[in-house]
Amino acid sequence: MMGLSIALTKGRLEKQTVSMLEDLGYGIEALKDKGRALVFKDSIEDIQYFLVKSNDCITYVNHGVADIGIVGKDTILENENDTYELLDLKIGKCKFIVASLPQNQLFSKVGHIKIGTKYPTVAKQYFLSKGMDVEIIKIDGSVELAPILGLCDGIVDIMETGTTLKENGLVVLDTVCDISARVIVNKASFKLKHSEVMKVIEDLSRKVNADVDTNL
């Protein structure tokens, strides 16, 4: 048997993933009482976990430092990704949406259209698919602010409930795609550690299916 390294995306996704692993009987005590540590050993399985930012999760798996990564589909779509995407965990659910102020008439506007977003790749691909030539403005902070202050005509962003958009007077014009947490696997690890990788995938898949049945 060969040991596995699993990269977990820090934050809310991490908490939900740890909860799933705990329900499956993995030895994740160290992840629940982590202090300032970033690398953790499973107390039962030959697995080490480490916590990283979402963009870095893909980088670690791409380079084989992590065999498996758990990361949002939004991050996968935005970044260069040379991994296998093997499972939808059905957690961390949200949507990529297009929004603007109602008076901006985004899809009927003639002339130069500016779009503010944290996700330039996703935004560019979406508007290309609509045959629209737009200028993409990369924003790192509160994207909702950009159309209000006149920096752009509309935004592409992630939406969970839509409360923030409504509070700022923005309306959703279209859904780009649904997003949730995915399990990605390094291509070499999938070959060299196939049985170990597939055990984790099958365990998680069983948990996802059980949770779906419970929610029906």
Kindly report, as residue ranges, where domains of CATH 3.40.190.10 are found in the chain.
4-92+180-215, 94-178
What's the pLDDT score for residue 37? 86
Residue found under tokens 């839509």: 162
Residue found under tokens 């957690």: 91
Locate 134 and state its tokens.
């737009």
User: What value, to the nearest 5°, has the Cα angle with vertex 88 and ends 85 and 89?
Assistant: 130
- 27: nearest Cα among 42, 14, 41, 39: 42
Contact assessment for residue 81 and residue 99, using Cβ atoms and an 8 Å cutoff: no
What's the pLDDT score for residue 211? 76
Contact assessment for residue 73 and residue 203, using Cβ atoms and an 8 Å cutoff: no
Measured between its terminal Cα atoms, the distance across the chain in Å is: 37
> Which residues, 6 or more positions from 213, have their beta carbon under 8 angstroms from its beta carbon?
none
Q: Is domain 4-92+180-215 annotated with CATH 3.40.190.10? A: yes
What's the pLDDT score for residue 212? 67
- 10: nearest Cα among 42, 50, 47: 50
- 74: nearest Cα among 58, 52, 51, 60: 58
User: What's the CA gap between 6 and 197, in Å, rounded?
Assistant: 10
CATH number of 94-178: 3.40.190.10
What's the pLDDT score for residue 1? 64
- The whole-number mean pLDDT for each consecutive block of 10 residues of the chain, a chain of 216 residues, reads 92 93 95 88 96 96 97 94 95 96 88 95 95 94 94 95 92 96 98 97 94 66
Q: Which amino acid is at 183?
A: V
What pTM did the predictor assign? 0.90
What's the pLDDT score for residue 110? 81
The SS3 of residue 123 is helix
What's the pLDDT score for residue 111? 85
DSSP labels for 83-97? Answer: SEEEEE---S-EEEE
Exposure string of 24-57, with b = 16+ CB inside 10 Å and e = fewer, is eebebebbeebeeeeebbbeebebbbbbbebebb
State the DSSP H helix or E strand holding residue 195, giving kind and residue range, or none if neither. Answer: helix 194-215
What's the pLDDT score for residue 135? 97
What's the pLDDT score for residue 49? 97
Residue found under tokens 């992590």: 66
User: What's the CA gap between 59 and 50, in Å, rounded?
Assistant: 13
